[in-house]
Amino acid sequence: MAVINVELAGRSYQVHVGQDLLSNAASLSHRFIRKTIVPIVADSNARELHGDRLAASFDAAGKTPVWFDVASGEGSKSWDGLQALTEWMLAQGVERGDHVFALGGGVVGDLTGFACSILKRGCGFVQLPTTLLSQVDSSVGGKTAINTSAGKNLIGAFHQPSLVLADTDTLKTLPVREMQAGYAEVIKYGILGDLEFFEWCEANGNEVIAHDDIAVAEAVARSVAAKARIVAADERETSGVRALLNLGHTFGHALEAETGFSNRLLHGEGVALGMVLAAQYSARRGYISATDADRVKSAIAGSGLPTEITSLNLKCDGAKLVDHMRHDKKMDAGTLPFILLRSIGAAFLDHEVSLDDVALFLNDRLL
């Protein structure tokens, strides 16, 4: 088992990465349980597949789990979902000093984290992420949010968990497409900040997706360590360091918006395509060589993720995709900083990108 510290003044916490952690959840989290009942917010699939191990752990410790079920899917990160959850927490008598457990992927983690940020002005929570994406990304770093009709993740708060238990055994039931989508965020850490980890991904990516225990453990632990370093340096995304985690997300988000945030393109698939575009655009701007852009693309294609936007059969031009970018949360007084590459393993924020040029670049890719 690996333990990674997220170092934040007054709010530091540990991320445990390893097999069968859910069976030991009660002992690993005993500091955060003050009462007999343990409130658990659970994704419906995660509870069905992995809830028994968690429940058995609490039962053996003389605790009584009480469950709030969340329907699988992005639709649960809504005002209605938030209202139902916070009212349930009040009915359970959750106090500011208590902790609520979140079992599931990013949907349950984001919803529970946000509910805990506002419950009596803030109670504690413990993340039990069960998807690759949530283990390497959303469970760490304290961003919480719900969606509204105006867009995804527009209402939220920074609220750090007190503990994260990433049980890699839970990933064994995850469909391959979800593993691939999560893997996009893994290789992202290599591309944006660590050439050696990128090379490790080139060599081991397929083992990760195939659920090889050793490869998964290393991928999750190294990703969490990378995210922990970045979050510790810039918790609230104010210095530009944390913004680098959005590599591929501006292009990806435009593609997700154009495909209606549907099953046609999962978030990680959008990020994969977005990282290929960011690398190609970095080459267009003269920062990296075409060979390096191709290397990024090959590594991503090798894991079965999409790398050509023509594969989406979009009925739009580059200007339409750029219009979606104008709604990006990074938009700052009329300009949009782009996360580009100086080399593989070194991303930076380029504040001088012209959206008109991005539209022309995308037109070429849409042919």
Q: Which of 39, 105, 190, 248 contacts ligand NAD by CB under 6 A?
A: 105
237 binds ligand NAD (CB under 6 A): no
The verdict on whether residue 76 carries a ligand-binding annotation is yes
**Residues in 24-43 that interact with ligand NAD by CB under 6 A:** 43
Stretch that binds ligand NAD, among 59-67, 70-78, 83-91, 325-333 (CB under 6 A): 70-78
347 within 8 A of 195, measured Cβ to Cβ: no
Q: Which residues are registered as beta bridge partners of 349? A: 339
Contacts 24+ apart (CB under 8 A), 87-93: 89/39, 89/115, 89/116, 89/119, 89/123, 90/119, 92/37, 92/39, 92/66
Distance CA 146, CA 73 (A): 12
CB-based contacts of 132, cutoff 8 Å, min separation 6: 171, 174, 178, 179, 181, 182, 183, 185, 186, 208, 216, 220
180 binds ligand NAD (CB under 6 A): no
Other CB atoms within 10 A of residue 152 CB: 17
77 binds ligand NAD (CB under 6 A): yes
250 binds ligand NAD (CB under 6 A): no
Number of amino acids touching ligand NAD (CB under 6 A): 29
Q: Minimum CB separation from ligand NAD for residue 210, in Å? A: 15
The verdict on whether residue 131 carries a ligand-binding annotation is yes
DSSP 8-state symbol, 23: G
306 binds ligand NAD (CB under 6 A): no
Closest CA to 1 of 15, 18, 20: 18
Strands 151-158 and 143-148, sheet pairing: antiparallel
Give, for 62, the enclosing helix (H) or strand (E). Answer: none
170 binds ligand NAD (CB under 6 A): yes
Distance CA 25, CA 167 (A): 10
104 binds ligand NAD (CB under 6 A): yes
Q: Which of 143, 188, 242, 253 contacts ligand NAD by CB under 6 A?
A: 143
Q: Minimum CB separation from ligand NAD for residue 77, in Å? A: 5
Q: Which of 14, 19, 92, 153 contacts ligand NAD by CB under 6 A?
A: 153
Which residue's C-beta sits nearest to ligand NAD? Answer: 106
Q: Minimum CB separation from ligand NAD for residue 125, in Å? A: 12
Closest CA to 195 of 313, 323, 344: 344
Q: Which residues are annotated as a binding site?
A: 72-77, 106-110, 130-131, 143, 152, 170-173, 185, 249, 267
Q: Which residues are annotated as a binding site for Zn(2+)?
A: 185, 249, 267
Q: Which residues are annotated as a binding site for NAD(+)?
A: 72-77, 106-110, 130-131, 143, 152, 170-173
Residue ranges binding ligand NAD (CB under 6 A): 43, 45-46, 49-50, 72, 74, 77, 104-108, 110, 130-131, 133-134, 137-138, 141, 143, 152-153, 170, 173-174, 178, 267
